[in-house]
Amino acid sequence: MQNMHLPIENPVIVLALCLFIMLVVPSACKRIGMPSIFGLILSGIIIGPKGFNLIGEGSGLELLSTAGLMYLMFMMTLEIDMFGFRKNKFKSVWFGICTFVIPFVLGFVLSYYVFSFNITASLLLACMFSTHTLVSYPIASRLNITKAEPVVVSIGGTIITDMAVLMFLTIIITYYEGVLSVFFWVKTIVLLGALMFVMFWCFPKICRWYFSHFQSDDTAQYIFVLTSLFMSGFLAELAGIEAIVGAFMCGLVLNRTIPHQSTLMTRTIFIGNSVFVPFFLIYIGMLVDVRAFFKGFDTLIFAATLVFVALLSKYIAAFVMQLLYRYTRAERLLFFGLSCSHAAATIAVVIVGYRMEIFNEQIINGTVLIILFTCLISTYLTDYAGRLVALQQKKHDVKDRKSDRILVPVSNPETALTLFDFAIMINQSNSNSSVTPLTIATNPQQLEQSILKEKSFVDYFVNQANAANVRYMPAMRIDSNISEGIIHAAMEIQVTHIVLGWSGQSGTAKYFFGTIIEKLLENCPQTLMVVNMKTKIVMFRKIYVLIPNNAGHEAGFKAWMLLLHTLHRNISGELLFIADKDTVESITSMNKTMSFSEKHIRFFTETPNMQIIAGELKENDLLVVILARPNTVSYSRKLAVMPRVITRYFSHTNSMILYPEQVEILHDKIGVNFGII
């Protein structure tokens, strides 16, 4: 009982109190229609040293809040849609410039010409106005709009803005201390170059090696992610910049290494949103001094002016983006909601100025109120605008996308897991999407020995399906042979895609493409994929797509283009089309909706040199060959020998042979519409 005096110093009680807040407050906020982030910040105000003083400044929460801030920055780039980021990189640059320059200029004018601060104090205060922390990002994650363009552009702009502020802060401090010299610039450039080299050249190689050798140990994988995060922050500090920049970089690297629809990704995001980030939000509240409202009329006017200019400058930046790129009102408000909150970087700037005796307590109190009001406004605006954007996105998805139902016949334990992971990877996220592992037997005794009877396989399938937010619908059949079982299951389940395994050997190829596949091609109009995986992890650096002539005129052209687009978005690798000019024109016509960059398209004449292509393909690349069914517009006799060509030239890499869907066959043979795109 000796530690029960206020403020509480017992770490067990401190943690218990914080966890109790995390348990109760979000649920209470949900009941009254308040964003949970607002509730957590308000809870920090109440229990903090400037509230009821339940928890003091030396409670150890600063360590957890630092970890939470880094985890927040890490999650933003880990979840970001890299395809959308590359697509909108110039928009991100412009937003970064707008949200840095406009607040900086307004802040400097206010500080220097209105409040008559000196040059150094004015520049530091202008930096404070330019910063922002995506405190409300978890709201965007909860609303499932992290891939929406305003969110992607805001994250890119945040990276640019905060890095610019932190670098500018370093320059101002160095200038104030009188040590700004050529040596400083050389040292800064060398250290930043070394950091970029380590993070974007060495670190990806370490990640690929680790995940290829320790893929079965889920706990070790997550510990590796945490270690990578905080080591990246440490390396950034060694380079003379803030640790959050290292967290940004770590997220960018792991974004291309961890499949977005995987258990590891789900676990990483879940723990961050449940534990690390709430600690950071509670700590922000603990910094707020509500008593600053009552410290005199002049203090209140000064603080109100700072808050007004801070919000106005970020709103102008969002408004400029709307004018430049014709965003909707909801998207403009989402830009403003995400970028108007000041927290971590703002604190860093002000604390530096206070310790160097450039800022006084009045500025500290004004900054605290900026943090309070901007964070509260940010949470409400992001929640309001995010819901509007989510509704717009949902209408677009309902209009342009239908549910995937993927059938995966499994029999070989060595390939079953990889085939299922591949099926998850090509799935276009939808609440009605499903993946069905299928076991076929010719008698009840064989069925009892099937993969779907083994608990380890079932647990893996269920976990992967839950992580990808798709329905898991296992199926077992007794039929006369394998091909009949697949055909009947495809008709009953009304699947849109069928994924089959292939060892890549010539004997198996002859059997597959002489018996089972021929029967499926004749009776199954769905997209048919024959997959040969050399790597157990579905993660490719490059995807080469060989497309036959006239493929753009096939009924299933749009369907397999959407499939490749989904695969490309999920792995963030490079996609290279190898096609004739007529097909390239068909691909280009779809570029408005799918946004494939022209640099991802390669041209070739009618007969590509397979040896050259084989030499370019590495072990972690994927070769996709689009074939055609007999009597279709893109079919030729040359395509019939492609399985043997793949066996001869591409046995060292991953490969997939894809037969596009045929809607005409679907209606003629089965008489029902399976909902294929």
Environment class of residue 136 by beta-carbon count within 10 Å: exposed (0-12), middle (13-18) or buried (19+)? buried
Q: Could you tell me if 396 and 425 are in contact, meaning their C-beta atoms sit under 8 angstroms apart?
A: no
Q: Would you state the pLDDT for residue 296? A: 64
Query: In degrees, to the nearest 5, what angle opens at C-alpha 160 toward C-alphas 157 and 162?
Result: 100
Instruction: Kindly tell me if the per-residue pLDDT of 464 is higher than 60.
Output: yes
Q: Is 671 helix (H, G, I), strand (E, B) or coil?
A: coil
- The highest-confidence range among 61-65, 190-194, 360-364, 465-469, by mean pLDDT, is 190-194
Q: In 3-state terms, what secondary structure has residue 610?
A: helix
The two tokens of residue 673 are 């519409």
Tens of pLDDT along 322-360? 999 889 999 999 999 998 888 766 776 776 777 677 877
Strands 471-472 and 434-441: parallel
Fold of 25-56+63-399: Na+/H+ antiporter like fold (1.20.1530)
pLDDT, the chain, mean: 79
Confidence of residue 52 (pLDDT cuts 50, 70, 90): confident
The tokens of 156 are what? 């890119």
Show the CA angle centred on residue 272, arms to residues 380 and 284, nearest 5°. 50
| Lowest mean per-residue pLDDT among 320-334, 376-390, 457-471, 662-676 | 662-676
Class of domain 402-501: alpha beta
Which pair of tokens denotes residue 371? 């943090």
How confident is residue 103, by pLDDT bands cut at 50, 70 and 90? very high
Q: Do 25-56+63-399 and 402-501 come out as alike in CATH topology? A: no
Label residue 554 left, alpha or beta by phi (over 0 means left) and psi (-120 to 50 means alpha).
beta
Residue 224 is encoded by which pair of tokens? 């590796």
Task: Please state the CATH superfamily assignment of the domain spanning residues 534-663 in this structure.
Answer: HUPs (3.40.50.620)
Closest CA to 482 of 510, 495, 458, 501: 501
CA 297 to chain centroid: 46
- Which pLDDT tens digit goes with each residue over 535-557? 766 677 788 888 888 888 887 88
What ranges do the domains of the chain cover? 25-56+63-399, 402-501, 534-663
Report d(CA 112, CA 120) in Å as an integer: 10
Task: Say if residues 583 and 551 touch (Cβ distance below 8 Å).
Answer: yes
Out of 111-125, 251-265, 446-460, 479-493, least confident range: 446-460
Three-state SS across 160-181?
A: HHHHHHHHHHHHHHHHHHCCCC
Q: Where are the beta strands (DSSP E) in 396-467?
A: 405-409, 434-441
* Residue 36: closest CA among 167, 172, 135: 135
The token pair at 625 is 């060959």
> How wide is the angle at C-alpha 231 spanned by C-alphas 230 and 237, nearest 5°?
90
The pLDDT value recorded for residue 94 is 92
DSSP state of 482: H
